[in-house]
Structure 1
């Protein structure tokens, strides 16, 4: 339990701590952003659009063997395209496909400050997305993302991924049915 979990009002002035082993090296949280190797993830989303991916070296383990060499890992940024509040919790839709290597319990809301407590949200596949079969195998096996309870459409969410990704791996392939030439 952290101080920001006990006193949620502190989240406006102190960023939630992050697990350094789950994020790339030189990752710095702020109250409304995450910087990886001095690159702002919210600014990256402004420039590149969403979904987007930033790749950097993994953090070294606490006790590293002599033959350890850093591997690449990524931070993905996605926009929230839909929010439904149900009696059982939140259901989110993102404009990205969640890769299997995503560390979803380390997800961060970026772009705005919030003092709302973090809550689990089920992430559903977008309608018409054909490439999401691996990430969302069945309706009961949907991915669970931990986000602030006041998440809204248009918010940006970033999360670390344990391997280096390309944009193609997180971009949703939308299939249009009934289109004529």
Structure 2
């Protein structure tokens, strides 16, 4: 249990901690963003739209995020919430994402709301893809006020092909363009 989990209002002054073994080397959480190798994931989504993928070297196990692995890349995907709903039957809250993440096998326990600092308590949330994005529903702990338009960042394991390019485990499906909130223009 972390301080930001016990007292969510602290998220305005300190970031939610991340597990360095799950994220790329040189990943740093900030109050409203996650930076990977100095690249803001919020800015990446602004420039590229969502879903956006960033791939970087993993940390060597046991190095406490100080040594990059020469052979193990880790990817981070940024997705946008397209619909947020409550289950009136007392079940988990449901968020619909703009991408199919089933092929990526992300680390759901490391899901991070980015783009703003929420002071709402984290609750169990069911995540799934929208129409055309049949991501199997899974759950993560996200702030209770996560709403349509919010960005979520997730790390995932990547593999390297013969050309030396890191790719998602089973390919990438359904990356249709979504509008960037910065300029209202569809980007890819």
TM-score range, shorter chain: 0.7 to 0.9
Contact 2:104 2:172 in 1 (8 A): no
Q: TM-score, normalised by structure 2?
A: 0.78
Query: Match of 1:96?
Result: 99
Q: Is residue 144 of structure 2 the alignment partner of residue 149 of structure 1? A: yes
Q: Which has the higher strand share?
A: 2
Query: Match of 1:35?
Result: 35
Query: Match of 2:45?
Result: 45
Output one character per residue of 1:45-82: Cα deviation in whole Å (capped at 9) or x when no partner.
Answer: 00000001000001110069xxx743111000000001
Q: Which has the higher helix share?
A: 1
Q: Cα distance, 1:170 vs. partner?
A: 5.2
Runs of 4+ with >2 A deviation: 170-173
Query: Following the alignment from structure 1 to structure 2, what is the Cα–Cα distance between the partners of residues 125 and 7?
Result: 31
Which sections of structure 2, spanning at least 5 residues, go unmatched? 159-165, 177-188
Output one character per residue of 1:97-121: Cα deviation in whole Å (capped at 9) or x when no partner.
Answer: 1134200110100111111121221
Query: Following the alignment from structure 1 to structure 2, what is the Cα–Cα distance between the partners of residues 54 and 171?
Result: 17
Residue 31 of structure 2 aligns to a residue whose secondary structure is coil
CA RMSD of aligned residues (A): 2.2
